[in-house]
Structure 1
Amino acid sequence: MKNKAAQSKAWKTVQVARHPDRPQFLDYVSEIFTEFDALHGDRLYGDDGAMIGGLARLDGQAVMVVGQHRGRSTREKLQHNFGMCNPEGYRKSQRLFDMAERFNLPVFTFVDTMGAYPGVGAEERGQAEAIAVNLAQLSNLKVPVIATILGEGGSGGAIGIGVADRVIMLSHSIYSVISPEGCASILWKTAEKAEQASEALALTADKLQKMGIVEEVIDEGEGAHVNPQEVMDKLKVVLTKALQDLQPMDADERCEARYQRLMKFGSDNLGLTA
């Protein structure tokens, strides 16, 4: 009975993370930051509507903001490719990270994607390579990097902008190597086992915090779509505090701490406690 209850809780979290009225990246940008100016294109192939980024200010300080946006209406979803980035989206973010490094701008990334776009064209244009370069680049940035999981954090599509000094999750967001449906289809040959898979994946914020994968969880009550302003206000406080903690650190020291944070994953230092 205990396992069944836990499964139901995990699956409920998945449903809330996917709620159609849940605030999205641009909603948070408009409330938390000011003077946001989006920059476009990867200077190689084209622009990707799923990945949006640009210059902004947080309480007056210039910062770089990058995130995935899914869209709500059918037209918007198509424009933003349902939040599933192509290689040019990750290469656009690489360009913005380079700019942030050049001008000493702290980087804020916001994850909300089912995963990177798996189409043939994306693979032909170097999807895996683009994500891999992002991982290397974010690992070595000298400026502070703070990532927030807003809704779904799916697979390499999420981790492509998820390497950071601090990772924050909303309490009804999820973060996983694969979707519950994808996991169930592989393990049990049917997506109908998605609820069981959601528990096995340990994709909820509370479990990931216990494991040390994320540093802070923002309580969103019944869901960010119910009290969006309250959740955004809480997130702004946490983001501001994280930046205040990270900025005084020496750049090399901060980079080393980020490296050590990553290296402890999978070690004996991590473990889900009962």
Structure 2
Amino acid sequence: MKNKSAQVKAWKTVQTARHPERPQFLDYANVLFDDFDVLHGDRLFGDDSAMVGGLARFEGQPVMVVGQHRGRSTRERLKYNFGMCNPEGYRKSQRLLDLAERFNLPVLTFIDTMGAYPGVGAEERGQAEAIATSLAQLSRLKVPVIATVLGEGGSGGALGIGVADRVIMLSHSIYSVISPEGCASILWKTADKAEQASDALALTADKLKKMGIVEHIVDEGEGAHLNADLVMERLRHVIKENLVELQSMDADERCEARYQRLMKFGSENPGLAS
């Protein structure tokens, strides 16, 4: 019964993370930031609408903001490709991160994607290379980097903007190497086992915090879609607190701490069974 209860709880979190009325990146951007000036294009192929980023002010301080937007209506979802980025999206983020480094701007990223776009064209244009380059770039940035998982954090598509000094998750968001349906299809040959897979993947914020994958969880009650303003203010407070802490550190010290944070993943038994 304990395992079944855990499965139900994890699956409910997955459903909440995917709720159609859940606030998305641009909803948060309009509240958290002033003077958000969106920049376009990767200067190589084109502009990927699924990856949105640009210069903004957070609490009066200039920052670089990068996030994935999914869209809500059918027309919006098609425009933003359901939040699934193509290689040009990751190369656009790389261009913006270069600007952040050049002008010493903190980087704030916001994750909400099922995963990177898996189409043939994306693979032909170097999807894997684009994500790998993004990982390498984020790992060596001298400026502070804070990543927030807003809804669904899926696989390398999420990780492409997820390497950071601090990772924040909303309490009903999820972060995983694969979707529960994808995991179930591989392990049990049927997506009907998605509820069981959601628990086995340890994709909820509380389990990920226990493993040291994330540092902070923002309480959203029964779901951010029910009280968006309160959740956004709670997130603002957590980002501000972490930004102050990170900016008080020397750049080399901050990079070393980021390196050590990444290297400890998987080195300890988190005791998830407890």
Structure 2 spans left out of the alignment, 5+ residues: none
| Aligned equivalents of 1:194, 1:269: Cα separation in 2 | 25
Amino acid in the other structure paired with 2:111? V
Relative to structure 1, is the Cα distance of residues 203 and 32 closer, same or farther in structure 2, using a 3 angstrom cutoff?
A: same
1:167 aligned counterpart, secondary structure:
strand
Q: TM-score, normalised by structure 2?
A: 0.99
* Paired position in structure 2 for 1:95: 95
* Paired position in structure 2 for 1:73: 73
* CA displacement, residues 155-197 of structure 1 (integer Å, 9 cap, x when unaligned): 0000000000000000000000000000000000000000000
Alpha-carbon RMSD across the aligned residues, in angstroms, is 0.7
| Aligned equivalents of 1:247, 1:147: Cα separation in 2 | 15
Relative to structure 1, is the Cα distance of residues 235 and 51 closer, same or farther in structure 2, using a 3 angstrom cutoff?
A: same
* CA displacement, residues 205-249 of structure 1 (integer Å, 9 cap, x when unaligned): 000011110000000000000000000000000000000000011
| Aligned equivalents of 2:269, 2:161: Cα separation in 1 | 24
1:225 aligned counterpart, secondary structure:
helix
Aligned pair 1:272/2:267, yes or no?
no
* Paired position in structure 1 for 2:207: 207
Conserved? CA contact 1:218–1:235, under 8 Å: yes
| Aligned equivalents of 2:270, 2:93: Cα separation in 1 | 30
**Cα drift, residue 269 of structure 1:** 6.3
* Paired position in structure 2 for 1:31: 31
* Paired position in structure 2 for 1:153: 153
* Paired position in structure 1 for 2:6: 6
Runs of 4 or more, structure 1, over 3 Å off, are: none
| Alignment of structure 1 residues 1-274 onto 2, 5 Å | 1-268=1-268, 270-272=270-272, 274=274
What number of residue pairs does the alignment pair up?
Answer: 274
* CA displacement, residues 35-58 of structure 1 (integer Å, 9 cap, x when unaligned): 000000000000000000000001
* CA displacement, residues 66-85 of structure 1 (integer Å, 9 cap, x when unaligned): 00000011111000000000
Conserved? CA contact 1:63–1:108, under 8 Å: yes
| Aligned equivalents of 2:225, 2:248: Cα separation in 1 | 35
2:92 aligned counterpart, secondary structure:
helix
1:64 aligned counterpart, secondary structure:
strand
1:35 aligned counterpart, secondary structure:
strand
| Aligned equivalents of 1:222, 1:75: Cα separation in 2 | 28
* CA displacement, residues 120-155 of structure 1 (integer Å, 9 cap, x when unaligned): 000000000000000000000000000000000000
* CA displacement, residues 7-40 of structure 1 (integer Å, 9 cap, x when unaligned): 0000000000000000000000010111000000
Relative to structure 1, is the Cα distance of residues 273 and 255 closer, same or farther in structure 2, using a 3 angstrom cutoff?
A: farther
| Aligned equivalents of 1:227, 1:75: Cα separation in 2 | 25
Amino acid in the other structure paired with 1:17? A
Conserved? CA contact 1:210–1:273, under 8 Å: no
